[in-house]
Structure 1
Amino acid sequence: MKILEINKFNYRKGGTESHFLELVQLLKSHGHEVAVFSMENKKNDFSPWKKYFVSYVGYNKGDTLIQKINGLCRMFYSIEARQKIKKLLNDFQPDIVHIHNIYHQISPSILTEIKKRGIPIVMTVHDYKIISPNYLMTWPDGTLQKPSELTFWNFVLGKGFKNSYRDSLLVFLETQWHRWLKIYEKNIDLYISPSNFAKEKLVAGGIPENKITVLPHFFPENKYSEKMAIDIPERYVFYFGRLAKNKGVEEVIEIFKNRKNCRLYMAGEKEADLEIPKMENIKYLGWLRERELDRYIKNSLFVVSTSRLPEVFGLVALESIKNGKPFVAYNSGAYSEIITHNRNGFLGQTKAELQSFIDTLEEDEGLRILFSRNALKDADNFKADNYYKKLTKIFEKLKGLDFSNKG
């Protein structure tokens, strides 16, 4: 099968990109011909398809004024993206197109170009952007959004995105523009939700239930033995992923800053305005490649997350258990579909509970070993082969239908 995989970043920026890159390799390993469409970036993994990538645009400190202006325009529509996807479609002629995150850096302008050729489009949902302008389904104070609350007055005047009137107005207008065009509604044939939790939110946000299927993410073949997973050469707890204030980074620093018996190691791409204090027992490793990341997970006592966001899936939890590591976090989002409380980790409701769970796992080696063994067993539910069989079954079913845009 000829499959076109699309995501706006082609390097391990976070959980979405990890899944995207691993999926490309999984499909190739089964003999499929896979093309990639993304955005140019100096951090990108090598790709033979890079000549088709859209030019870099930026929205952050350090990006040039031109990059920011181009990025602003691309939020709404991109002639460049449509032209480049047209060229790739002509040259590659895929049987199916699998979309991941395309908003802002690529834009949904590519969808109509794909659809007019009758190619089925599947979208794996990695966040709530298609139903919530700020991706997260939360207000600045952390409370969950309801679809009925997402009005101009509530969202823009409430500074629902980045605590900024300007940014909130931009993403609100972007969302309304795409809804007016019905660009997702008309062109996406099937949505893949990684969890039942996310599916419920998507349905509440107006996505037809019959256009959503649940398929949890996977991990590549586990390269680690049980012995390796419990052989700890040094004492540290690991925190990794996208390092942002809304992910609870400041809270995990607060929890660990005065701990005497255990260090906190942190890894991931950091928000431009986030400062990680230099402390003896807190070490920031920066952004790590897959092999390095797995090594730090494997050698940790356990993994912790202080995010209270309604996670669509929670790849950090899956990365933890596939490496045989207990996972400690708030019981938010879809974590409970991966982590079983008091079996392969702890899920708490309050900061005090989280601190208590961290204390327990730091001190009780026997419990850590038990949780580690359970984690390795439970990770079998997310094997790549199972995911591959279900995904290709979805692709084959869609290939047999007529998706030409006759309107």
Structure 2
Amino acid sequence: MRILHYGLGYPPERTGGLVQYVTDLMKEQVKQKHEIAYLFPGRINIFSSTTKIKKSKMRISGVTSFEIINSLPLGVFGGIKDPEKFQTKVNHSIYANLLDDFEPDVIHVHSLMGIHKEFFEVATHKKIKIIYTSHDYFGLSPNPTFYFNGKSWDEENDLNYWLNVSQGALCTRKLRLLQLPFYSNIRDTIKKFKKSSFQKERHYEKMVNEEFSENYKRSFETLIDYYQKIFELITFFHFNSNISKTVFENNLKNPMSSHKILAISNSSILGGTKHIDLDMTKVKKITYIGQYAEFKGFTDFIDLAKELRDKNIIFEIYGENIDVTLPSNVINKKRFSFQEKKKVFENMQLLIIPSRWKETFGFLGLEALDNNCPIFVNDNIGVSDLVPIDSIIKEHNLNNFIKFGLKSNKKVIFKLKIPTFVEHTRMVLRLYENKKLY
């Protein structure tokens, strides 16, 4: 099978679960004897605004790379300052030539960031299957997480939300800096100086439609319609959880095409049958891993530590190389390397994943379970599909959930079978071959 993937690029220029999934999936598909190509938003040409596609150097053996020069902006930081720049038209021939060159049997799209609507129009015209994996909510929302001003807006997704969430967005010129070749070299340095103290998302005063100009409102209305039309051209939706399926169902203006829920994975997952017993009476250490940020539930975790100061429990946090003010019973262990990951999991007694945004899946939870580490997760996190109901925190009520568990000597049994990544890849290939596609 000839498979064309569209994603955000390669590490180290791009990071995160989406990038890891795409690169791991392509490597495994090559091993399974498929012909693979990768299209991604690449460099910005400061001397010419013309969009073109250029064959890039091979970064993964057996994967042909195509780079979009002067792609649409990448709205990775949430919100859109210049809506007209995100719907720039290009000649259909740019993408027609690419598809004529590679001749894919299927296109697997992992994000709408950076890619033009014309790509989907050409693929549809050529009757090429388009599979979309729900890694985030960009396109349904200008903010990939739907999280703004302390809550998720997926159930209040109107024009006013798009206008308000974009108040703090970076201008397009600054977003373009992310696509400069040297950005990955200075990214960590920028973060180090930018996050010199506790990272707390800025909250904005809510504005009403009348406070925005008519032209600005119209530009957002056309942008909302732009993305909705792209979603209409998707042949098959691969949802990585029930959470992501529900959010998409509630925010697509027209009924979606064929779809299936299939949890994602990565090459670090060994898989197999897991039987994990958790006895709350034996828990003396509770762990958090992630950004030190409100939308990831970090503030809720710190509040829990404060609430349980009188208990003989140590709390530890991993995730960012910054110093933050913490209660005396919380240890900041900062970042750990990929090579250290297994040892970190082995030393955990209980991992809490308290994300406040409706996280589409979450590799962290899967990796913990794969390493036989028990987890408690909020009920708005996709990985909750894999765990027993006794380990699911309802309505962000972390404090009461843990305090009740300690008081009642709660015991939780995790029984599940995790596919190996080879098995997962075969499942994805079966999605491509779904007879309902065409």
Structures share fold, TM-score greater than 0.5? yes
Shift of 1:158: 7.5
Matched with 2:159 is: 152
**Structure 1 pair 332/355, CA: closer, same or farther in 2 (3 Å)?**
same
Shift of 1:266: 1.4
Shift of 1:136: 3.5
**Structure 1 pair 237/31, CA: closer, same or farther in 2 (3 Å)?**
farther
Higher strand share: 2
Matched with 1:37 is: 39
Asked if residue 282 in structure 1 is aligned to residue 302 in structure 2, the reply is no
Higher helix share: 1
Other structure's SS at 2:357 match: coil
- Would you say how many aligned residue pairs link Structure 1 and Structure 2? 366
Deviation track 1:296-316 (CA, whole Å, cap 9, x = no partner) reads 233322321121222222332
**Structure 1 pair 279/225, CA: closer, same or farther in 2 (3 Å)?**
farther
**Structure 1 pair 252/60, CA: closer, same or farther in 2 (3 Å)?**
same
> Is the CA contact (8 Å cut-off) linking 1:77 and 1:108 kept in structure 2?
no
C-alpha distance in structure 2 between counterparts of 1:36 and 1:171, whole Å:
35
Shift of 1:124: 0.8
Report matched runs for 1:112-261 at 5 Å: 112-137=121-146, 140-142=149-151, 144-146=153-155, 149-153=156-160, 155-157=162-164, 163=203, 173=219, 176-177=222-223, 179-180=225-226, 183-205=229-251, 206-220=253-267, 221-222=269-270, 237-241=286-290, 244-256=293-305, 261=313
C-alpha distance in structure 2 between counterparts of 1:250 and 1:306, whole Å:
9
Deviation track 1:313-360 (CA, whole Å, cap 9, x = no partner) reads 233222221121111222224343111133xx4534413224427868
Asked if residue 396 in structure 1 is aligned to residue 433 in structure 2, the reply is yes
**Structure 1 pair 242/208, CA: closer, same or farther in 2 (3 Å)?**
farther
Matched with 2:25 is: 23
Matched with 2:172 is: none
Other structure's SS at 2:5 match: strand
> Is the CA contact (8 Å cut-off) linking 1:120 and 1:398 kept in structure 2?
no
* Pairwise CA RMSD: 4.6
> Is the CA contact (8 Å cut-off) linking 1:4 and 1:97 kept in structure 2?
yes
C-alpha distance in structure 2 between counterparts of 1:60 and 1:134, whole Å:
8
> Is the CA contact (8 Å cut-off) linking 2:4 and 2:39 kept in structure 1?
yes
Deviation track 1:246-280 (CA, whole Å, cap 9, x = no partner) reads 12223323434786752413126x9xxx9744788
**Structure 1 pair 49/302, CA: closer, same or farther in 2 (3 Å)?**
farther
Report matched runs for 1:66-81 at 5 Å: 75-77=86-88, 79=90
Residue type matched to 2:348 in 1?
A: S
Matched with 1:52 is: 67
Shift of 1:59: 6.4
Asked if residue 267 in structure 1 is aligned to residue 319 in structure 2, the reply is yes
Other structure's SS at 1:356 match: helix
**Higher CA-based Rg:** 2
Residue type matched to 1:19 in 2?
A: Y
Shift of 1:208: 1.8
> Is the CA contact (8 Å cut-off) linking 2:304 and 2:399 kept in structure 1?
no
C-alpha distance in structure 2 between counterparts of 1:240 and 1:4, whole Å:
33
Deviation track 1:64-104 (CA, whole Å, cap 9, x = no partner) reads xxxx99x9765223749984x5564344322111001132x
C-alpha distance in structure 2 between counterparts of 1:99 and 1:247, whole Å:
25
Q: Which runs of 5+ in 2 are unaligned?
A: 44-57, 170-202, 279-283
Asked if residue 110 in structure 1 is aligned to residue 125 in structure 2, the reply is no
C-alpha distance in structure 1 between counterparts of 2:407 and 2:371, whole Å:
20
> Is the CA contact (8 Å cut-off) linking 2:384 and 2:392 kept in structure 1?
no
More deviation, 21-30/384-393? 384-393
> Is the CA contact (8 Å cut-off) linking 2:271 and 2:418 kept in structure 1?
no
C-alpha distance in structure 1 between counterparts of 2:133 and 2:141, whole Å:
16
**Structure 1 pair 173/207, CA: closer, same or farther in 2 (3 Å)?**
same
Matched with 2:356 is: 308
Shift of 1:23: 1.9
C-alpha distance in structure 2 between counterparts of 1:358 and 1:351, whole Å:
11
Matched with 2:47 is: none
Other structure's SS at 1:217 match: coil
Report matched runs for 1:234-383 at 5 Å: 237-241=286-290, 244-256=293-305, 261-267=313-319, 276-277=324-325, 281-286=330-335, 288-289=337-338, 291-342=339-390, 345-349=391-395, 350-356=397-403, 371=413, 374=414, 377-378=415-416, 380-383=417-420
Other structure's SS at 2:151 match: coil
Other structure's SS at 1:52 match: strand
Shift of 1:40: 4.1
**Structure 1 pair 285/46, CA: closer, same or farther in 2 (3 Å)?**
farther
> Is the CA contact (8 Å cut-off) linking 2:287 and 2:352 kept in structure 1?
yes
**Structure 1 pair 385/160, CA: closer, same or farther in 2 (3 Å)?**
farther
Other structure's SS at 2:434 match: helix
TM-score calculated relative to the size of structure 2: 0.66
More deviation, 47-56/246-255? 47-56
> Is the CA contact (8 Å cut-off) linking 1:346 and 1:357 kept in structure 2?
no
TM-score calculated relative to the size of structure 1: 0.70
Other structure's SS at 1:75 match: helix
C-alpha distance in structure 2 between counterparts of 1:265 and 1:181, whole Å:
38
Deviation track 1:17-51 (CA, whole Å, cap 9, x = no partner) reads 3332332233223221222222349xxx9446456
Shift of 1:284: 4.8
Other structure's SS at 1:397 match: coil
> Is the CA contact (8 Å cut-off) linking 1:267 and 1:285 kept in structure 2?
yes
**Structure 1 pair 262/142, CA: closer, same or farther in 2 (3 Å)?**
same
Matched with 1:4 is: 4
C-alpha distance in structure 2 between counterparts of 1:152 and 1:386, whole Å:
42
